[in-house]
Amino acid sequence: MVINKKKEESRMQKLIMNGCVVFVLLLLGACSMVKEQNNAHENHLKTEEAKETSEVSVEPVKVDLTNTSGKKVGEATLSEAKNGVHIKLTAQGLSPGRHGFHIHEIGKCEVPDFKTAGAHFNPFKREHGFKNTKGPHAGDLPNLEVAPNGKVDTEIFASLVTLQEGKPNSLLDMDGSALVIHDKVDDYTTDPSGNSGDRIVCGVITK
């Protein structure tokens, strides 16, 4: 009886040890699977990040700004960002106060009225104005604030446009586009241009 009891205990110990080995193997397998899943997720995120980076890999565009006499009064630099275009603008010789500022649909700035720049850039067929329930145009931008000395130095983000060619809202389409400063403030509501008055400064956006 004692011998059988020892054999039984030995058998139970072996079963327990075998069970422990199986458990450890299963645990290692599960850890390996989780690690593989995490690596796959990280690789996916890196791929998506690379795609986003490649999407914004566009050369900045320099724009000369001229007044109604054809004299250069400033410049702007447009840079592609993740979800739009960053605009850095400096100008002088303007009347102090707020001025309407827009992107127009054609890259042509003929003096003295700049009407050759066409209407506002509007690929999505909206109405003008940030406060307009049917707006805004893709080319609608915040008013510029000109200092008492007639100078402006500002940065603006245009979220509805891109510099990537081939896209419907690209500023670099076949006929380009233009930056236009108006002589009056934009009311952000009235279609088609916010009652912002005459065009007093224009700059061609092109490659």
Which of the residues are catalytic?
A: 102, 104, 120, 128, 137, 140, 182, 199
Rounded to 5 degrees, φ, ψ at 87 are: -115, 120
C-alpha 68/C-alpha 145 separation (Å) is 20
- Cis amide bond preceding 112, omega within 30: yes
Whether 206 and 174 have beta carbons less than 8 Å apart is answered as no
C-alpha of 82 from chain center: 4
The 3-state DSSP class for residue 82 equals: coil
C-alpha 83/C-alpha 145 separation (Å) is 24
